[in-house]
Amino acid sequence: MHRDIYDIAEQYGKDTFLMIDKLGTDKMPFFFTLKGRTDAMLEKVKFFRPHFTDRAMQKFGHLFPSHLPPRMKNWRDKYEHHLLLKMAGDGVAEAQRWLNEFFKSAEGGFFTCTPEEGSKAFLHRFAAAGAAIRYQAVHADEVEDILALDIALRRNDTDWFEHLPPEIDSQLVHKLYYGHFMCHVFSSGLYREERRRRPRAESANAGAVAGARGTIPGGAQRWTSV
């Protein structure tokens, strides 16, 4: 998970995080159904702006204190990428030995999560995809639609980031990077494009540029730590 999607998830995925943390995942289908029905009903009422429930839930989340552990926040400030590893059995000691040896010469670091930190870290990661969509809903007056690109990487690729022409890159509000460890198809960007720029042509150009790297339209996820 890149630092930018970490921040988006912290701000725009907070209500999802809190609902799952406090109520459990089994309650989520009910809330999603209720949200969908409410949105469908309010769309018929001119008084309400689009995405009313997203805006309301966003404000609701602000009523609660910070939900992420302090050590995660410190790590966010320290590093640009974060990787979550969940190990079990003999793999715990094996991973610790390997990471200790690896970071003797490599830039970066790691820490072993407490049970609470581990649970909240993975829940934060889970909320990231929905948070990216929430951002677009809350800022619908300011940004155009999302262009989601899944970039298929070779297993020995070291250059993970696409390089867009300046005339396209300058028009993007956010570029969000996240995916799954050991998955060679990463979501290499959910682009937030400014509405005033009329971005459809730029979206096509961005897709063409990334297409040279094996792009699949869609939206995956990532988290990394160096």
Domains and CATH numbers, the chain: 3-217 (3.30.1370.20)
In angstroms, what CA-CA distances link 62 with 11, 58, 187?
8, 7, 28
Which pLDDT band holds residue 215 (cuts at 50, 70, 90)? Answer: very low
Residue in 84, 105, 87 with CA at minimum distance from that of residue 96: 87
The answer on pLDDT for 164 being more than 60 is yes
Residue in 149, 129, 220, 130 with CA at minimum distance from that of residue 181: 220
Ranking 36-40, 54-58, 129-133, 199-203 by mean pLDDT, the lowest is 199-203
Q: What's the rounded Cα separation, in Å, for the pair 215 and 19?
A: 34
pTM: 0.81
The answer on pLDDT for 115 being more than 90 is yes
Give the 3-state secondary structure of 190-201.
EEEEEHHHCCHH
The confidence score (pLDDT) of residue 144 equals 74
More confident site: 84 or 166 = 84
| Helix 14-23 vs helix 52-62: crossing angle, to nearest 10 | 70
**What is the average per-residue pLDDT within 20-27?**
91
What is the token pair recorded at 90?
């003999």
The answer on pLDDT for 124 being more than 90 is yes
